[in-house]
């Protein structure tokens, strides 16, 4: 968890305030950040939302299979991205993360 907290500290100390694609204020840092974690130490879930194992495993399957259609998640009663998703953002976000 220290690596994650170091990224947050860097954001707060060196980040600049700007609008994101939805118009919400965001703190950005130059060059982004990378979080590495040893999975032998456990699953690094960092969120403010309540997460059930079924949703976690469904989203992981979605990501690993390279699926970009949010309806696939919704058909499996997984609505964790509904609040932030729109039809234009799925492919670019997940394509970029897989590279």
Cβ 85 vs Cβ 70: under 8 Å: yes
Mean pLDDT of the chain: 79
pLDDT at 96 over 50: no
- Tens digit of each residue's pLDDT (9 = 90 or more) over 43-77: 777 766 677 889 889 988 988 898 877 888 889 99
**pLDDT at residue 86, as a whole number:** 63
Reported as a single tens digit per residue, the pLDDT across 1-13 is 677 888 889 889 9
Distance from chain centroid for Cα 28: 15
Euclidean distance between CA atoms 84 and 96, whole angstroms: 17
Question: What mean pLDDT comes out for the span 12-34?
Answer: 86
Domain ranges of the chain: 1-43, 47-99
What is the pLDDT, as a whole number, of residue 99? 47
Q: Is residue 24 very low, low, confident or very high in pLDDT (cuts 50, 70, 90)? A: confident
Instruction: Tell me the pTM.
Output: 0.47
């Amino acid at each position: 968890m220290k690596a994650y907290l170091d990224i947050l500290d860097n954001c707060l100390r060196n980040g600049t305030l700007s609008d994101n694609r939805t118009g919400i204020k965001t703190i950005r840092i130059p060059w982004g950040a990378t979080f590495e974690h040893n999975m032998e130490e456990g699953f690094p879930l960092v969120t403010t939302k309540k997460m059930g194992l079924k949703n976690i495993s469904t989203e992981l399957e979605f990501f690993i299979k390279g699926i970009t259609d949010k309806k696939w998640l919704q058909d499996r009663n997984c609505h964790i991205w509904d609040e932030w998703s729109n039809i234009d953002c799925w492919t670019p976000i997940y394509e970029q993360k897989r590279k």
